[in-house]
Amino acid sequence: MRIVYLDDASRKNLLEDLLKRSPNQYGEYEQRVGEILKQVKEEGDQAVFAFTEKFDGAKIDASNIEVTKEEIEEAYTIVEPSLLDVIRKALVNIEAYHAKQKQYSWFDSTPNGTILGQKVTPLARVGVYVPGGKAAYPSSVLMNVMPAKVAGVEEIIMATPCNKEGKVTPATLVAAKEAGVDRIFKVGGAQAIASLAYGTETIPKVDKIVGPGNIYVALAKKAVYGHVSIDSIAGPSEILVLADETANPRFVAADLLSQAEHDELASAILVTTSKELAEKVSKEVDSFVEKLSRKKIITASLENYGYILLADSMDQAIEVANEIASEHLEIVTKDAFTVMTKIKNAGAIFIGEYSSEPLGDYFAGPNHVLPTNGTAKFFSPLSVDDFIKKSSIISYSKEALEPIHKDIISFANAEELTAHANSIRVRFEEQ
């Protein structure tokens, strides 16, 4: 891996380089995505079937687009019992973590007759997109579905690509069943997002679409926002490891590669104050790459967006970490919890050498759907909050309104909204 000394110029170049990974930088795809969305909106099922055959090589129609009970049962016979056991254990942790996020309606009253409150209502129907391209992600099923279940969403619809034989990855089906998905459709890409956003003869329209995907999925979600809600526009995966001389270079190298294997645009960055650690990590990375199955993808990722950054001080290292605002941030320093208090921007923070990123991906419980491309500066991980909506409750008696009604009238008149003022005034005309 390349080793770069941190200064103003290298920081600027790095940040500009990382921004190139954003889905917002791929305008040449937007026209293609727009055409797909338009066709699905106008033609419904027929467009979905045609695009599925074109892009996935599968002949899908109204009779087989929805996954059947029998297909799910078949998936259970294929998936290894050990994997099923792990899925169930992970679900326990994921549900327990998200249960702590649940919000409830509340009301406050006063003796003079005011009632103020907030009504919390789960979304009625949510669409979950699950990729099926370079890798299958049953873990994404669990992470996207479980907070929706905890929130109380009435119906969860899943869309995921099938293979040329019209089959969905068995592990994905099993994870969906275990998590509580209601219906599953064999459709991927931008056409899947369009069908969930607009609805077709077969696929119902949803209120919100969540889940990661390729550039076509990301741009499609961006385009349909407003017709439906979305979680975020996810970019390529990324990890930043903040380490000092106490870190284990072999552990650090392994953790960097855990994200580099996602795709060629993934980013893996080490920021350290130790030149010795930097050199050792670089050697360990080279050694690991030769042994790993996704060598080609990893190599491209490291060449494109892999960096080892040498900082003059831990304060400078922390400052850079906050600027990058990584999806995953590991802190491997002698005073890791103190460093953590200075971190302002990160999707998920992993503390200590035994808290590696895959722990969060699969098992610990916190959600692994995280903000990318610097959006951790203003976005949060997927949570129960993403699957609810809030309504304000306001109730005043005449006795409560009377002392303040002239103030409201005055405010409305100041804004030249006389009908607003009148709406209050008519209630006290006899006075």
pLDDT digits (tens, 9 = 90+) for 395-419: 999 999 999 999 999 999 999 999 9
Contacts of 77 (CB under 8 A, 6+ apart): none
Is the pLDDT at 340 greater than 90, yes or no?
Answer: yes
Residue of 102, 87, 180, 181 whose CA lies nearest to 383 = 102
**CA angle in degrees (0–180, nearest 5) for 269-136-56:** 115
Q: What is the pLDDT of residues 211-266, one digit of tens each?
A: 988 889 989 999 999 999 999 887 888 999 999 999 999 999 999 999 999 888 89
Residue 1 has which token pair? 């891996």
Contacts of 236 (CB under 8 A, 6+ apart): 21, 262, 263, 265, 266, 267, 372, 373
Cross-strand pairs, 331:
242, 351
pLDDT in the model for residue 337: 96
Percent of the chain with pLDDT over 70: 97
Cross-strand pairs, 66:
185
Residue of 188, 191, 196, 190 whose CA lies nearest to 215 = 190
pLDDT in the model for residue 16: 81
pLDDT in the model for residue 298: 94
Residue 270 has which token pair? 């080490």
Q: Is 262 considered catalytic here?
A: no
Number of other CB atoms surrounding residue 285 within 10 Å: 24
| Full set of structural domains in the chain with CATH | 3-22+235-365 (3.40.50.1980), 27-230 (3.40.50.1980), 397-428 (no CATH)
Task: Identify whether the C-beta of residue 56 lies closer than 8 Å to the C-beta of residue 188.
Answer: yes
Q: What is the pLDDT of residues 82-122, one digit of tens each?
A: 999 999 999 999 999 999 999 999 999 999 999 999 999 99
* Amino acid residing at 137: Y
| Reported confidence tier of residue 290, pLDDT bands at 50, 70, 90 | very high
* Amino acid residing at 397: S
Is the pLDDT at 19 greater than 80, yes or no?
Answer: no
Is the pLDDT at 431 greater than 60, yes or no?
Answer: no
Q: Tell me which of 98, 262, 328, 368 is the catalytic residue.
A: 328
Q: How far apart are CA 189 and CA 35, in angstroms?
A: 13
Q: Identify the burial level of 332 via C-beta atoms within 10 angstroms of its C-beta, where 0-12 means exposed, 13-18 middle and 19 or more buried.
A: buried
pLDDT in the model for residue 177: 97
Is the pLDDT at 133 greater than 70, yes or no?
Answer: no
Phi, psi of 391 (to 5 degrees): -120, 135
Q: Tell me which of 327, 330, 353, 357 is the catalytic residue.
A: 327
pLDDT in the model for residue 10: 85
Q: Is 261 considered catalytic here?
A: no
pLDDT in the model for residue 23: 65
Q: Is the dihedral of CA 399, 402, 403, 405 positive or negative?
A: positive
Whole-number average pLDDT of the chain:
93
Number of other CB atoms surrounding residue 256 within 10 Å: 29
